[in-house]
Amino acid sequence: MKNINKIIYSLPLFLIQSAYSKEDKPMNIIFIMSDDHAIQAISAYGNPVSKLAPTPNIDKIAHDGAIFNNNYCCNSISGPSRAAIITGKHSHKNGFMKNWAKGFDNTQQTLPKILQKNGYQTAIIGKWHLVSKPTGFDYWIVLNDQGEYNNPDFITEKDTVQYKGYVTDIITDITKKWLDSRDKNKPFFLMMHHKAVHRNWVPAEKYYHLYENIKFPLPENYYDDYTGRIAASKQKMNIYRDMYEGHDLKMVTGTNSDTLLYDPWPQAFMNRMTPDEKNRFFEAYRKRNNDFYASPKNEKEIAEWKYQRYLQDYLAVVKSVDDSVGEILEYLKENGLDENTLVVYTSDQGFYLGEHGWFDKRFMYEESMAMPMVMACPSIIRPGTKINQLTQNIDFAPTFLDLCGIEIPADMQGISFKPLLEGKKVKNWRKYLYYHYYEFPGFHSVRAHYGIKGKRYKLIHFYKDNNWELYDLKTDPHEMNNIFGKPGTEKITYKLKTELKKLQQTYQVPEELCR
Ligand code: SGN
Ligand code: CA
């Protein structure tokens, strides 16, 4: 197949088409990625929270295809995860290590560029977040930085245009229009990147009330005191301490007030709404906001009230993303594209929904390092496939190339998991993943760290302060008990440190980035 592709893509298009037998028809890929969508908020993963706020369309992909149960990012933050996805390389290799970095070097080799060279039509619609201009795409229309929920701006090669409406719906509409107008003689690779579910979690108007009466279960470690975990004790991503009451929690100054409490970025929120939209927004939250002021509350009650408000909004935002996935699946079916298109749903990283008392991500702990991922394609994936091996975002690019029958460049660091999708047994699949977070100082004050993750144990090094953490995920799945240095852990610590060194050598992590 590799060689066939090399030959046929150097032929004129009409010859390419006739050269493929029906089975050999090149695969299309729709890569749907949202932002900050936690595994806990996807019902296919079965978490109690998601049972109260199900995602039937994302679940349908899992049901018809594969669900990844051990899929992780290499650096839990937006730009770096996106750069790892399109390059198949760890952050230090693709150069985009922090959101606050200078722009992504867009002259380097990327997945869309390789696909484009091999006859694919490529497009990106939605969040880009790599600062420099998207390259390797025949069509691109991207949000400005994080983008806005209401009446958002979109940037194209030519100009910046404000669209009317709710960002998730707009991205879906633009996607369907592009699918309609694309060159139907070519296979396509489409990246559809939602702004949702990113902070500050503004639901679509039709969903303002969706979960207002639902009480979500409080994580058992909501009141974590971070004993034995120094970096965790120094973060600034606590729901009850660090969330902005106006901007994030939509709290107002008093009974019947239409003035938000602290909102440092009105330009990205309130100022995007028309006066009528603003009125409807405050009306929708009025009863709940008045109820808050109706009786005095102690600290604990406020902390739990904030948790509920956060989840109600977050999950209402998820609902629109799930609707969007449903629309795309429907579109593929109606247009006969469902058999030969790989549909992927994932998120740029995981997210905290109150575990450890947190929102946001960045830490190598499970909730933020894990990325949800489901994918379907009837011609290659059996319904109900479960992938339990350790996979990582650096694997996506090599896997997609492999699925398209295109040679994987030797300098990509990820591994193709195509055989796993096909249900094949793979001997010697990797046992450990490498992780490295760099953005400190930065938002939420998470110290830089690197580490190694196996299925059972995780070793983390906060290298600036030389603090180590070790977790046994089997006995301590919520990573509350740092056992580094405890009697009985000598052997596993030695083993993990040795494997960690090996990974740093294999991936060629420069020493100066580890101190
Ligand atoms: C914004 C958010 C932060 C978030 C970063 C990075 N603040 O700065 O809470 O950690 O983005 O997120 S906000 O109030 O402006 O939304 S990322 O997903 O893009 O990496
Ligand atoms: Ca993100």
**Boundaries of every domain in the chain:** 28-202+318-427, 224-308, 436-513
Q: Does domain 28-202+318-427 correspond to CATH entry 3.40.640.10? A: no
**Cα–Cα distance measured from residue 284 to residue 296, given in angstroms and rounded to the nearest whole number:** 22
pLDDT at 100: 80
Same fold: 28-202+318-427 with 436-513: no
101 within 8 A of 75, measured Cβ to Cβ:
no
Query: 454-470, pLDDT tens digit by residue?
Result: 999 999 999 999 999 99
Please report which confidence band the pLDDT of residue 321 belongs to, taking 50, 70 and 90 as the band edges: very high
H/E segment holding residue 191: strand 188-193
Residues in Cβ contact with 466 at an 8 Å cutoff, skipping those fewer than 6 apart = none
- What one-character DSSP code corresponds to residue 134? P
- Residue-wise pLDDT for 216-233, tens only, equals 999 999 999 999 999 999
Pairing state of beta strands 449-453 and 457-462?
Answer: antiparallel
Q: Pick the ligand that lies closest to the CA of residue 194.
A: 2
SS3 at position 452: strand
Residue 443 in contact with ligand 1 by CB distance below 6 A: yes
Q: Which two tokens stand for residue 215?
A: 């009480």
Q: What is the DSSP letter of 362?
A: -
Q: Is 35 in the pocket of ligand 1 (CB under 6 A)?
A: yes
Q: What is the structure's pLDDT at 18?
A: 36
Mean pLDDT over each residue of the chain, to the nearest integer: 95
| Residues 6+ away with beta carbon under 8 Å from 147 | 126, 127, 153, 167, 195, 198
Cross-strand pairs, 391: 71
pTM above 0.80, yes or no: yes
Beta-ladder partners of 453: 433, 458
SS3 state of residue 271: helix
User: Using one digit for the tens of pLDDT, what is the confidence trace for 77-92?
Assistant: 999 999 999 999 999 9
Per 3-state DSSP, what percentage of the chain is helix, strand, and coil (rounded to 5)?
Answer: 35, 15, 50
What per-residue confidence (pLDDT) applies to 101?
78
Q: Cα separation of 287 and 280, whole Å?
A: 13
- Write out pLDDT tens, residues 346-384: 999 999 999 999 999 999 999 999 999 999 999 999 999
The kind and range of the H/E element at 20 are: none
Q: Is the pLDDT of residue 484 over 60?
A: yes
Q: Which CATH class is domain 436-513?
A: alpha beta
Q: What is the pLDDT of residues 10-25, one digit of tens each?
A: 444 334 333 333 456 8
What atom in ligand 1 is closest to the CA of residue 36?
18
Spatial CA neighbour of 123 closest among 174, 160, 197: 174
Residue appearing with tokens 């983390």: 460
Decide: 148 in ligand 1 pocket, CB within 6 A. no
- Does the interface predicted TM-score (ipTM) exceed 0.90? yes
Return the structure tokens found at 115.
């696909």
Could you give the 3-state DSSP secondary structure of residue 15? helix
The finding on whether 312 has its CB within 6 A of some atom of ligand 1 is: no
Q: What is the pLDDT of residue 25?
A: 83
Q: What is the pLDDT of residues 169-186, one digit of tens each?
A: 999 999 999 999 999 999
Residue nearest ligand 1's atom 8 by CA: 443
Q: What percent of the chain has pLDDT over 90?
A: 95
In the structure encoding, which two tokens stand for residue 36, read together? 């900050």
Q: Do the Cβ atoms of 65 and 374 come closer than 8 Å? A: yes
24 CA distance to ligand 1 middle (Å): 43
Residue nearest to ligand 1 atom 19, measured at CA: 78
